[in-house]
């Protein structure tokens, strides 16, 4: 009987793996005729992309590893094959010099080296540096019983105060547009930084910290708090004109599922009605967010762009795919709004190709890029690597930039050894930040997922004002230290009072 179960499980795993690998193999075959002369490079790129995709769905992946794998997969594998099928002349539309097959191969080689470095450093980080992260979690939580007891007595007041503060911040930003993506605000810099911090990091940080104690208090979570998190994320996205709601909610649910997979938590999320209601709420919130944000952006950014953005113009071309079978699917993918969400927003292969095609790569170029300062105008990457679609924008009204991402940015010197070392350093910093979040938040998995996604997204959109990343990590560290110090101090005071 045992052997039968083992064989059945093995067969199931085999069929699941075949199902997962099928789309990769299909896309590989579809584009193979175009890259048959670089077969080894093209094959290895697709194979490593498949391995990275497995890191997204693996239950053994750390949060940072999972989120960065997702961004790399979308920006490199998905984007590469989409452009190869539908927009084979995409790179020439950007006026990238010498955009022929040799540069495609070099771009793939840079990607492959970065993928290998990512997988190797991830393996070493998990197995040699931060392998005890999850094992120490329960022990850390048991040290703060007094704080949990006090929270249990006053949790209604704590939530009420947080809700008032969150509504106050979001409402002010909705009314006065103090901080939003792409807008240039007339408010003082300190006010903009205050709202930027709380809308991007502070409010979720506080909410997930409070929610952590709520979980410790009753070993379960209220549906009301899940619904509130969806509503708050919706309002924040609308307030800052962000179309990232689906990603923000996904990050929350990744952390939430990780918590509920532990044995010590009650499995109360089993009501079909609750799950159906939750699914409907998520879908409705995402749809409304995209609609209202898009509408408001179109209104706010009207007449800002004075030249045609050729970068986002694509048209179906003749391919080897049977038109009859894929015509409906292709029309959906080629819809400007669908393409903007599924393809354009992800940074990856096109930036690497742009940097590879630039002849004057050097460490001096990297040094200049590192010194980039904020100003009204094109970014360093827009001015030096591509024919920017934003070159005729009125930057006194709005601010638009193109970012290269950390892989393309780290290839500015044109050195493979430097690329490998620098990418490895970035990956290690990401794992280390996740480790610090666990340590200073007393094992708060949802907060660790949130911070890890912030870091992964920062890396994948790296390259504009790179010195600001020091401020970014400083803010994360100060937030964690402040939270850690507050809880430690509160615990000592409560023990003394007892």
Continuous H helices in 136-199: 137-141, 145-176, 189-197
Rounded CA-CA distance 321/333 in Å is 14
Distance of CA 380 to the CA centre of its chain: 23
The pLDDT of 184-203, averaged and rounded, is: 88
Quote the pLDDT of residue 451.
95
Tokens of 373: 């300062």
The pLDDT of 291-319, averaged and rounded, is: 54
Least confident of 200-214, 322-336, 400-414, 454-468: 322-336
pLDDT of 21 strictly over 90? no
Quote the pLDDT of residue 310.
36
Quote the pLDDT of residue 314.
36
pTM for this predicted structure: 0.86
Residues 316-371 have pLDDT tens digits of 444 444 444 444 445 555 555 556 666 677 888 989 988 998 888 999 999 999 98
The pLDDT of 134-140, averaged and rounded, is: 47
Quote the pLDDT of residue 458.
94
């Amino acid at each position: 009987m045992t052997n039968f179960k083992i064989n059945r499980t093995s067969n199931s795993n085999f069929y699941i793996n075949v199902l997962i690998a099928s789309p990769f193999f299909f896309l590989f075959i579809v584009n193979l005729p175009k890259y048959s002369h670089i077969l080894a490079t093209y094959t290895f790129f697709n194979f490593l992309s498949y391995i990275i995709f497995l890191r997204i769905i693996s239950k053994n992946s750390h949060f940072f590893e999972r989120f960065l794998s997702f961004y790399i997969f979308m920006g490199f594998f998905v984007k590469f094959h989409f452009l190869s099928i539908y927009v084979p002349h995409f790179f020439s539309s950007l006026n990238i010099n010498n955009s022929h097959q040799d540069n495609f191969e070099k771009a793939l080689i840079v990607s492959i080296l970065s993928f290998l470095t990512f997988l190797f450093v991830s393996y070493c980080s998990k197995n040699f540096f931060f392998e005890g992260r999850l094992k120490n979690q329960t022990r850390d939580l048991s040290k703060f019983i007094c704080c949990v007891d006090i929270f249990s007595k006053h949790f209604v007041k704590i939530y009420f105060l947080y809700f008032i503060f969150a509504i106050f911040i979001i409402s002010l930003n909705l009314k006065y547009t103090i901080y939003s993506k792409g807008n240039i605000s007339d408010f003082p810099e300190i006010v903009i930084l205050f709202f930027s911090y709380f809308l991007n990091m502070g409010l979720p940080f506080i909410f997930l910290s409070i929610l952590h104690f709520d979980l410790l208090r009753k070993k379960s979570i209220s549906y009301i708090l899940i619904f509130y998190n969806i509503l708050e994320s919706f309002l924040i996205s609308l307030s800052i004109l962000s179309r990232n709601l689906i990603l923000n909610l996904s990050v929350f649910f990744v952390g939430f599922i990780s918590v509920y997979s532990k044995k010590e938590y009650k499995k109360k999320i089993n009501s079909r009605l609750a799950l159906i209601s939750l699914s409907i709420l998520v879908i409705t919130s995402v749809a409304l967010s995209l609609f209202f944000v898009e509408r408001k952006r179109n209104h706010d950014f009207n007449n800002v762009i004075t030249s045609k953005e050729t970068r986002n113009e694509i048209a179906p071309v003749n391919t080897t795919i049977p038109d009859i079978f894929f015509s409906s699917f292709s029309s959906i993918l080629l819809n400007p709004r669908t393409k903007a969400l599924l393809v354009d927003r992800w940074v990856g292969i096109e930036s690497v190709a742009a940097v590879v095609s630039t002849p004057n790569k050097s460490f001096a170029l990297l040094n200049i890029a590192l010194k980039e300062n904020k100003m009204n105008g094109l970014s360093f990457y827009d001015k030096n690597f591509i024919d920017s679609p934003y070159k005729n924008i009125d930057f006194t009204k709005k601010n638009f930039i193109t970012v290269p991402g950390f892989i393309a940015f780290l290839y500015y010197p044109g050195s493979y050894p430097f690329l490998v070392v620098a990418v490895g350093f970035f990956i290690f910093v990401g794992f280390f930040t996740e480790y610090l979040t666990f340590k200073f938040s007393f094992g708060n998995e949802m907060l660790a997922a949130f911070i890890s996604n912030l870091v992964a997204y920062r890396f994948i959109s790296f390259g504009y004002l790179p010195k600001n990343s020091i401020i970014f990590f400083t803010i994360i560290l100060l937030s964690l230290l402040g939270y850690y110090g507050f809880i430690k101090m509160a615990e000592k005071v409560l023990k003394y009072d007892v």
